[in-house]
């Protein structure tokens, strides 16, 4: 049997590089050879044992690859050798949830999230893609691997915070936490036409990056009363939409306290334990507020739309890729990412060789092209 190299979750805080069987596609499935992938905060939760997956699972849910083998029934639409991305969420497109516009909940709660959760993920030389016709999104030749690497999860999730919040032209928006997802939420607010956009993060470097991703100003929640400042900036009302991009009680509560009566709290964070909504922030339940949660939208048309935004120069997410590693160096990459060392935003992992280019540091020339 053919084998491949993969990063396997063996136990809490125990990731191993192993030789495992190379996957083969059944009807409707495809196997892609991974060109690039990355580490998500969710992967850190898994490795630390804060989100349970089965022992022996290959982690990772953000793939850029090339079609290696197609199962039966796909030849009319795809060819071996095509470069593709696949969303972190892989809906079937046919079940109750998919047909009721809840694709990320395909088959049941969180069911659309399969890679590195319920089936093997992208930290490997090859990846089996289920429901391939709904999920293989062909990458235009004009786009590089790194230009599309942030789309399967980070951009799709972050931008969805603004979409689910229903951000309208001229809205005021505050985004709580400016990590990679929060920065994409800030970008999403800008793309949706918000006027005032406020990035909130205690880390100075992230507040700086927030301005480059479209924030009008960036606030330090440790230095001032952010909810009061946001009210002062909006005629005493509060923002139209607050986006929570961290998953903590404090940020959820602050986001709730920051929206106006009738406003929207759009939540992207992954929470653990009990989440409390103080009654006064909820206006005793009579404030006409809406709280919406969103799991990363997936599927090939979502990926096509995001790629179109990159191809037309509306957004460039390559500045988020601050570090590059071979997949063999997963231990170093994981350590750096999990402890947020060296100003890391996202790392790119390459199963083959790391492409020869200068790494690190946010490319200010690229950001200038974004018009910021
Ligand atoms: Zn993720
Ligand atoms: Zn489905």
DSSP character string of 28-72: T-EEEEEEEEE--HHHHHHHTTSS---TTEE-----EEEEEEE-T
- Determine the distance separating the centroid of ligand 2 and the alpha carbon of 108, expressed in angstroms: 8
Rounded Cα distance, 132 and 76, in Å: 12
Rounded Cα distance, 87 and 95, in Å: 18
- Determine the distance separating the centroid of ligand 1 and the alpha carbon of 153, expressed in angstroms: 5
Nearest-CA neighbor of 40 among 139, 156, 137? 156
- Determine the distance separating the centroid of ligand 1 and the alpha carbon of 88, expressed in angstroms: 7
Closest-approaching ligand to the CA atom of 111: 2
Helix (H) or strand (E) holding 137: strand 137-138
Rounded Cα distance, 133 and 296, in Å: 19
- Determine the distance separating the centroid of ligand 2 and the alpha carbon of 104, expressed in angstroms: 8
Closest-approaching ligand to the CA atom of 38: 1
Closest-approaching ligand to the CA atom of 90: 2
CA gyration radius, the chain: 20
Token pair in block for residue 259: 């929206």
Token pair in block for residue 75: 């030849």
Along the 372 residues of the chain, how does pLDDT read in single tens digits?
Answer: 799 999 999 999 999 999 999 999 999 999 999 999 999 999 999 999 999 999 999 999 999 999 999 999 999 999 999 999 999 999 999 999 999 999 999 999 999 999 999 999 999 999 999 999 999 999 999 999 999 999 999 999 999 999 999 999 999 999 999 999 999 999 999 999 999 999 999 999 999 999 999 999 999 999 999 999 999 999 999 999 999 999 999 999 999 999 999 999 999 999 988 999 999 999 999 999 999 999 999 999 999 999 999 999 999 999 999 999 999 999 999 999 999 999 999 999 999 988 876 443 444 444 444 444
Q: Dihedrals φ, ψ of 247, to 5°?
A: 95, 40
- Determine the distance separating the centroid of ligand 2 and the alpha carbon of 41, expressed in angstroms: 25
Rounded Cα distance, 350 and 327, in Å: 5
Q: Can you give the pTM of this predicted structure?
A: 0.94
- Determine the distance separating the centroid of ligand 1 and the alpha carbon of 89, expressed in angstroms: 9
Closest-approaching ligand to the CA atom of 102: 2
């Amino acid at each position: 049997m053919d084998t491949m190299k993969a990063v396997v979750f063996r136990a809490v805080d125990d990731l191993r590089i192993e030789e495992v069987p190379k996957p083969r596609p059944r009807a409707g499935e495809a196997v892609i050879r991974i060109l690039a992938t990355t580490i998500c905060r969710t992967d850190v939760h898994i490795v630390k044992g804060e989100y349970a997956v089965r022992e022996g699972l290959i982690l990772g849910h953000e793939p850029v690859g090339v079609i290696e083998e197609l199962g039966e029934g796909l030849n009319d639409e795809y060819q071996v050798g095509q470069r593709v991305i696949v969303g972190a969420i892989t809906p079937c497109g046919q079940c109750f949830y998919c047909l009721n516009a809840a694709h990320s909940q395909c088959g049941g709660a969180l069911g659309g999230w399969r890679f590195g959760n319920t089936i093997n993920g992208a930290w490997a030389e090859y990846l089996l893609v289920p429901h391939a016709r709904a999920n293989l999104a062909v990458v235009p030749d004009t786009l590089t691997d790194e230009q599309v690497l942030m789309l399967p999860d980070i951009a799709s999730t972050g931008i969805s915070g603004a979409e689910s919040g229903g951000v309208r032209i001229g809205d005021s928006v505050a985004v709580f936490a400016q990590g990679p997802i929060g920065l994409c939420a800030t970008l999403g607010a800008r793309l949706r036409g918000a006027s005032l956009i406020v990035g909130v993060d205690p880390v100075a470097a992230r507040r700086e990056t927030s301005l480059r991703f479209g924030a009008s100003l960036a606030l330090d929640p440790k230095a001032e009363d952010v909810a009061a400042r946001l009210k002062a900036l909006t005629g005493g009302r509060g923002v139209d939409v607050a986006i929570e991009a961290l998953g903590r009680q404090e940020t959820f509560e602050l986001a709730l306290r920051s929206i106006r009566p009738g406003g929207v709290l759009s939540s992207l964070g992954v929470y653990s334990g009990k989440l409390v909504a103080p009654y006064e922030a909820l206006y005793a339940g009579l404030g006409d507020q809406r709280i919406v949660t969103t799991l990363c939208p997936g599927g090939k048309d979502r990926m096509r739309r995001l790629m179109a935004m990159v191809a037309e120069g509306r957004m460039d997410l390559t500045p988020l890729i601050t570090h590059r590693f071979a997949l063999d160096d997963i231990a170093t990459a994981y350590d750096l990412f999990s402890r947020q060392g060296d100003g890391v935003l996202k790392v790119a992992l390459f199963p083959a060789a790391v492409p020869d280019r200068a790494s690190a540091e946010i490319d200010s020339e690229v950001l200038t092209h974004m018009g910021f």
